[in-house]
């Protein structure tokens, strides 16, 4: 296809943005394999802090929509093996998840072996041949992601990339890696040791470490989605794009329970101005299908992440996926809200007590409206309007109930829904 990577500095609204893209002529593919016309720079909502990149129509943005795929950590953690990755690749295809958009298969921490005499990173005994694994994953029409750290050790104390950044990026490219999650881990100790009482100097070191790997990836000539993981420290959303990040974690780790998931999701309010094609807030990987999340809790999780234009990186064990979980992860209309080409993250428009209403702008002048009930009993919305005005909508709208897959016709601010405990009603309105 004659792909050619380039790392380009673009000035947009006074902010220098690094946009990793590659040109393949008209009708180019994004890193997710989806046809795109790229970010057109039509958005106006960004503050002075972050401005949507102006990119010519023929120059697609890596991760023009939030990346979708699967990651090994949330379920397999340190036990993940080559076989788990192959099984997952097979199941992404046979369950329909690949065709629903989940194309990245990401190996998280604990694949790393030591280094050979030349300093080249080796995979450990759980992953006997990384190149062969990449070939297998690619043969299924999927892409392979990997994990490392700017520190000498990863969070699980495996080999990190410190001092080997270019060499590691080159090895990833040689293997055929398409996505890198780069997790701060032990590098925070290096920063603290060097500048014990100087947070600004520590922050500078962190940014430089992330930029170093960005440059190293650029040098390989292979497009890779670049995912920052430093737990949302130092307002990473303000500078992530400048170090080449396509996504950046905004929080500490998620876990498979409703309290942690909803705390993280609700905590994204206010970050919407930092999301744009190529640059996404990442509230961490999905726990849908993990732990003891109920049907309504899984629906809430998926809805909240879609409203946030969050990366949809599933984290469940596909060998045990129930039809219910499959239908939640693969709901096409919900995925379309997440992947909407406008690239707008939704925001909270109403919160009083357990009911919250969030709105997300969609292309074609439509909006997604989510009525969440974080409370312990079902809500009939007594005394609670839909807050259409606060969502930037007229007094009456035409609505579709997405999870019920039902057109509702015209509704107004006083239309009542019953929202289950830990559940949500998701509407698309125009």
Residue 92 makes contact with ligand GAL by CB under 6 A? no
Residue 183 annotated to the active site? yes
**Tokens for 131?**
């190149």
Residue 155 makes contact with ligand GAL by CB under 6 A? yes
3-state secondary structure the chain: CCCCEEEEEEEECCEEEEEEEECCCCCCECCCCCECCCCCCCCCCCCCCCCCCCCCCCCCCCCCCCCEEEECHHHHHHHCCHHHHHHHHHHHHHCCHHHHCCCEEECCCCCEEEECCCCCEEECCCCCCHHHHHHHHHHCCCEEEEEECCCCECCCCCECCCCCHHHHHHHHHHHCCCEEEEECCCHHHHHHHHCCCCHHHHHHHHHHHHHHHHHHHHHHCCCCEEEEECCCHHHHHHHHHHHCCCEEECCCCCCCCHHHHHHHHHCCCCCHHHCECCEEEECCCCCCCCCCCCHHHHHHHHHHHHHCCCCEEECCCHHHCCHHHHHHHCCHHHHHHHCCCCCCCCEEEEEECCEEEEEEECHHHCEEEEEEECCCCCECCCCCCCCCCCCCCCCEEEEEECCCCEEEEEEECCCCCCECCCEEEEEEEC
CB 77, min distance to ligand GAL, A: 8
- Among the candidate windows 23-31, 42-50, 153-161, 357-365, which touches ligand GAL by CB under 6 A? 153-161
27 or 114: whose CB is closer to ligand GAL? 114
- Which of 168, 183, 296, 338 binds ligand GAL (CB under 6 A)? It is 183
Residue 84 annotated to the active site? no
Distance CA 348, CA 268 (A): 9
Residue 287 makes contact with ligand GAL by CB under 6 A? no
Sheet arrangement for strand 355-361: 347-352, 355-361, 367-373, 423-429, 396-401, 406-412
Residue 209 makes contact with ligand GAL by CB under 6 A? no
CB 188, min distance to ligand GAL, A: 10
Question: Which candidate in 87, 90, 234, 253 is catalytic?
Answer: 253
- Among the candidate windows 25-33, 93-101, 154-162, 362-370, which touches ligand GAL by CB under 6 A? 154-162
CB 151, min distance to ligand GAL, A: 11
Residue 282 makes contact with ligand GAL by CB under 6 A? no
* Number of amino acids touching ligand GAL (CB under 6 A): 10
- Among the candidate windows 79-87, 149-157, 170-178, 192-200, which touches ligand GAL by CB under 6 A? 149-157
82 or 284: whose CB is closer to ligand GAL? 284
- Among the candidate windows 27-35, 93-101, 150-158, 198-206, which touches ligand GAL by CB under 6 A? 150-158
Question: Which candidate in 183, 282, 338, 347 is catalytic?
Answer: 183
Other CB atoms within a 10 A radius of the CB of residue 59 amount to 18
Residue 179 makes contact with ligand GAL by CB under 6 A? no
- Which of 166, 253, 333, 390 binds ligand GAL (CB under 6 A)? It is 253
CB 235, min distance to ligand GAL, A: 18
State which of positions 98-137 bind ligand GAL (CB under 6 A).
108-109
- Which of 156, 269, 271, 408 binds ligand GAL (CB under 6 A)? It is 156
7 or 251: whose CB is closer to ligand GAL? 251
- Which of 142, 191, 229, 286 binds ligand GAL (CB under 6 A)? It is 229
Distance CA 360, CA 339 (A): 12
33 or 267: whose CB is closer to ligand GAL? 267
229 or 304: whose CB is closer to ligand GAL? 229
36 or 72: whose CB is closer to ligand GAL? 72
Annotated catalytic residues are 183, 253
Per CB under 6 A, residues contacting ligand GAL are: 73, 108-109, 154-156, 183, 185, 229, 253
């Amino acid at each position: 296809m004659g792909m050619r990577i380039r790392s380009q500095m673009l000035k947009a609204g006074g902010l220098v943005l690094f946009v990793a893209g590659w040109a393949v002529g008209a009708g180019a593919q994004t890193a997710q394999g989806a046809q795109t016309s790229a970010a057109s720079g039509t958005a106006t909502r960004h503050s002075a802090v972050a401005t949507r990149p102006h990119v010519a129509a023929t120059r697609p943005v890596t991760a023009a929509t939030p990346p979708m795929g699967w990651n090994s950590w949330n379920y397999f953690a340190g036990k993940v093996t080559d076989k788990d990755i192959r099984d997952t690749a097979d199941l992404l295809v046979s369950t329909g998840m690949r065709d629903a958009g989940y194309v990245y298969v990401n190996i998280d921490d604990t694949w790393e072996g030591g280094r050979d005499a030349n300093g080249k990173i080796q995979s450990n005994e759980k992953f006997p041949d990384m190149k062969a694994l990449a070939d297998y994953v690619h043969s299924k029409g999927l892409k392979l992601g990997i994990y490392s750290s700017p520190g000498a050790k990863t969070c699980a104390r495996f080999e990190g990339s410190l001092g080997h950044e270019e060499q590691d990026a080159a090895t990833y490219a040689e293997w055929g890696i398409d996505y890198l999650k780069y997790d701060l881990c032990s590098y925070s100790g290096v920063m603290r040791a060097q500048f014990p009482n100087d947070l600004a100097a520590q922050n500078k070191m962190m940014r430089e470490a992330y930029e170093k790997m960005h440059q190293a990836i650029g040098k390989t000539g292979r497009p890779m989605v670049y995912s920052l993981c430093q737990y949302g420290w130092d307002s990473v959303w303000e500078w992530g794009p400048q170090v080449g990040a396509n996504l950046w974690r905004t929080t500490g780790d998620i876990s498979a329970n409703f309290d942690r998931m909803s705390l993280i999701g609700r905590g994204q309010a206010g970050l919407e101005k930092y999301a744009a094609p190529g640059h996404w807030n990442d509230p961490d990987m999905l726990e849908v299908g993990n732990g003891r999340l109920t049907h309504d809790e899984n629906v809430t999780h998926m809805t909240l992440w879609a409203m946030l234009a969050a990366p949809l990186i599933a984290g469940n064990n596909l060998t045990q996926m129930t039809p219910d979980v499959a239908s939640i992860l693969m709901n096409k209309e919900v995925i379309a809200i997440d992947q909407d080409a406008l690239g707008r993250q939704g925001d909270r428009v109403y919160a009083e007590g357990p009911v919250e209403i969030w709105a997300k702008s969609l292309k074609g002048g439509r909006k997604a409206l989510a009525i969440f009930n974080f409370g312990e009993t079902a809500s009939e919305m007594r005394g609670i309007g839909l807050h259409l005005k606060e969502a930037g909508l007229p007094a009456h709208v035409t609505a579709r109930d997405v999870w019920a897959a039902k057109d509702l016709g015209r509704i107004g601010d006083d239309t009542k829904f019953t929202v289950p405990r830990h559940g949500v009603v998701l509407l698309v309105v125009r």
